[in-house]
């Protein structure tokens, strides 16, 4: 009997964490019992998941009972909290990155939230009484990962993934990731979604080990590959991201205003966010009056609908202007249709985009330079576009196909569980 306890931020509720959709069926096939603990208590729409998956929801910030119990939690764990703080201060001193008072307070808060989640997980385990092999899997290297590493009396294999915001310390709140060393030493394996992420982790924190494993994400494309490049009088560009500062969609809008093309440019953006009103106003001001440009903000759309859009619309180009990324799933989705990509060279993006499959821009790229890259791809002849489309599709199929990557992930996990039992 194999039981999985899967700790997430939002999954299986909408919106968010859509990239888990491709992985979860493989987890379901690999485990006899599946239990999800999500820290999402506000989402109402449940994704389609197997009927035998149990879901528990926990968020201490919304629980009065947890708030009342916090004083008891701190007192009963005082020695542990003190030891963890001392351990963290020693580690930070060793790597030459002492932490400020603000970061120390953030550390204390992180420990308390992790202890709260730890106790909740322990209660779930007590209720469910898992038999045989138990795997505790935190999808993010954050509170969930810290919590499973504090479950001292539970016999289990502990693993976590590491993506972007919970890995690259410059992107984290207060530019600080608490308890990295403690979490690392108490996990059986840490799965990075890119080589870049693994190198960053080992170089920044000095935590080098065989249990640091690169395990790329992937997407499933059930549509047949269409190698044809139709001759048309327009060029369709897509972008797909939340409308937030790090995605820098305003730079794409500015670049579109500079593109000179004999064809009409159609731009569709998938995603929503706090900058939506501001970006719509910028788009209207910058490209709204250009006769050669048509645009539409598509809003938040499920991944399946985006894939359907790609299948029916012959998209010519995906553009990603982010200042920080792991490896964007949006690029994997586009490549599964043979769509060229222009993206910033940040995080692990260079591992999915090569000179044969797209164009990498420096993070501090020039807007006029982006416009010229768009014009270059727009003006390629049909034979070159067809060659490129095949190269792109093959790159996805070889390196970012969910069937290949997640089957390997499950195989790696089985080996870790077997080793942990000996």
Claim to verify: residue 77 and residue 144 sit in the same structural domain: yes
Q: Which residues pair with 265 in a beta bridge?
A: 235, 293
- The two three-digit tokens of residue 126, written as one number: 């007590």
Asked whether 30 and 410 are in contact (CB, 8 A), the reply is: yes
Claim to verify: residue 206 and residue 332 sit in the same structural domain: no
Residue holding tokens 């385990």?
125
| Region 203-220 average pLDDT | 96
Q: What is the pLDDT of residues 293-327, one digit of tens each?
A: 999 999 988 888 999 999 999 899 999 999 989 88
Claim to verify: residue 328 and residue 309 sit in the same structural domain: yes
Q: What is the pLDDT of residues 112-137, one digit of tens each?
A: 999 999 999 999 999 999 999 999 99
Give yes or no for residue 160 having a pLDDT over 70: yes
CB atoms within 10 A of CB 371: 18
Average pLDDT, the chain: 93
What pLDDT score was predicted for residue 220? 93
The strand ranges marked E within 103-233 are: 133-138, 157-162, 189-192, 212-214
- 308 located within any domain: yes
| Region 71-93 average pLDDT | 93
Q: What is the pLDDT of residues 224-269, one digit of tens each?
A: 998 888 888 999 999 999 999 999 999 999 999 999 999 999 999 9
CA distance 318 to 335: 9
Of 32-46, 92-106, 273-287, 395-409, which gets the smallest average pLDDT? 32-46
Give yes or no for residue 63 having a pLDDT over 70: no
Which residues lie below 8 Å from residue 153, measured CB to CB, with a gap of 6+? none
CA distance 368 to 295: 19
- The two three-digit tokens of residue 189, written as one number: 């394996």
What pLDDT score was predicted for residue 351? 93
**Total domain count for the chain?**
2
Asked whether 400 and 217 are in contact (CB, 8 A), the reply is: yes
Asked whether 360 and 349 are in contact (CB, 8 A), the reply is: yes
CATH code: domain of residue 136: 3.40.50.2000
CA distance 159 to 145: 8
- 223 located within any domain: no
Listed in sequence order, the DSSP H helices in 289-349 are 303-313, 329-335
- 227 located within any domain: no
Claim to verify: residue 14 and residue 125 sit in the same structural domain: yes
- 277 located within any domain: yes
Claim to verify: residue 238 and residue 347 sit in the same structural domain: yes
Give yes or no for residue 274 having a pLDDT over 90: yes
79 alpha carbon, distance to own chain's centre = 35
Asked whether 302 and 323 are in contact (CB, 8 A), the reply is: no
Of 102-111, 250-259, 272-281, 299-308, which gets the smallest average pLDDT? 299-308
Three-state DSSP at 187 gives: coil
What pLDDT score was predicted for residue 406? 96
Claim to verify: residue 252 and residue 351 sit in the same structural domain: yes
Give yes or no for residue 171 having a pLDDT over 90: no
- 152 located within any domain: yes
Q: Identify the domain containing residue 285 by its residue range.
A: 234-399
Give yes or no for residue 190 having a pLDDT over 80: yes
- The two three-digit tokens of residue 359, written as one number: 């164009």
- The two three-digit tokens of residue 154, written as one number: 């539970």
| Region 189-212 average pLDDT | 96
Claim to verify: residue 276 and residue 359 sit in the same structural domain: yes
Q: For the chain, what is the total number of helices (H) and then of strands (E)?
A: 14, 13
- The two three-digit tokens of residue 190, written as one number: 């840490």
- 176 located within any domain: yes
Claim to verify: residue 394 and residue 409 sit in the same structural domain: no
Claim to verify: residue 61 and residue 195 sit in the same structural domain: yes
pTM for the full model? 0.89
- 225 located within any domain: no
CA neighbor of 305 nearest in space, from 352, 240, 250: 240
Give yes or no for residue 27 having a pLDDT over 90: yes
- 224 located within any domain: no
Q: Please, which pLDDT band fits residue 74 given cuts at 50, 70 and 90?
A: confident
Claim to verify: residue 312 and residue 166 sit in the same structural domain: no
CA distance 319 to 332: 12
What pLDDT score was predicted for residue 65? 66
Claim to verify: residue 263 and residue 194 sit in the same structural domain: no
Claim to verify: residue 350 and residue 260 sit in the same structural domain: yes
């Amino acid at each position: 009997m194999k039981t999985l306890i899967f700790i997430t931020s939002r999954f299986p509720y909408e919106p968010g964490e859509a990239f888990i959709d491709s992985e979860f069926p493989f987890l379901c096939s690999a485990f006899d019992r599946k239990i999800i603990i999500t820290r999402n208590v506000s989402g109402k729409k449940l994704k389609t998941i197997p009927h035998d998956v149990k879901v528990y929801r926990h968020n201490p910030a919304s629980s009065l009972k947890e708030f009342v119990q916090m004083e008891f939690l701190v007192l009963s764990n005082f020695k542990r909290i003190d030891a963890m703080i001392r351990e963290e201060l020693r580690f930070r001193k060793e790597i030459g990155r002492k932490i400020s008072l603000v970061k120390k307070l953030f550390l204390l808060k992180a420990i308390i939230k992790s202890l709260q989640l730890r106790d909740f997980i322990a209660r779930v385990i007590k209720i469910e009484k898992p038999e045989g092999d138990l795997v505790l899997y935190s999808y993010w290297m954050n509170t969930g990962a810290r919590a499973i590493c504090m479950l001292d009396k539970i016999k289990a294999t502990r693993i976590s993934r590491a993506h972007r915001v919970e890995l690259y310390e410059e992107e984290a709140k207060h530019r600080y990731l608490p308890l990295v060393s403690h979490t690392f030493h108490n996990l059986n394996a840490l799965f990075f979604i890119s080589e870049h992420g693994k190198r960053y982790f080992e170089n920044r924190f000095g935590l080098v080990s065989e249990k640091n494993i690169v395990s790329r994400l992937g997407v499933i494309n059930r549509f047949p590959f269409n190698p044809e490049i139709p001759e048309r009088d327009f060029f369709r560009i897509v972008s797909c991201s939340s409308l937030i500062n790090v995605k820098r969609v305003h730079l794409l809008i500015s670049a579109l205003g500079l593109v000179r093309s004999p064809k009409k440019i159609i731009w569709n953006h998938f995603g929503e966010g706090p900058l939506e009103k501001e970006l719509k106003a910028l788009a209207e001001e910058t490209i709204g009056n250009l006769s050669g440009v048509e645009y539409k903000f598509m809003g938040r759309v499920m991944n399946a609908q985006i894939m359907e859009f790609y299948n029916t619309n012959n998209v010519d180009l995906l553009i990603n202007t982010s200042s920080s990324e792991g490896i964007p799933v949006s690029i994997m989705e586009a490549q599964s249709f043979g769509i060229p990509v222009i993206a910033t060279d940040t995080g692990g993006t260079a591992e999915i985009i090569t000179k044969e499959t797209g164009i990498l821009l420096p993070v501090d790229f020039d807007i006029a330079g982006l416009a010229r890259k768009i014009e270059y791809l727009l003006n390629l002849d049909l034979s070159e576009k067809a060659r490129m489309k095949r190269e792109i599709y093959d790159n996805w199929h070889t390196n970012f196909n969910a069937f290949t990557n997640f089957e390997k992930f499950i195989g790696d996990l089985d080996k870790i569980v077997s080793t942990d039992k000996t």
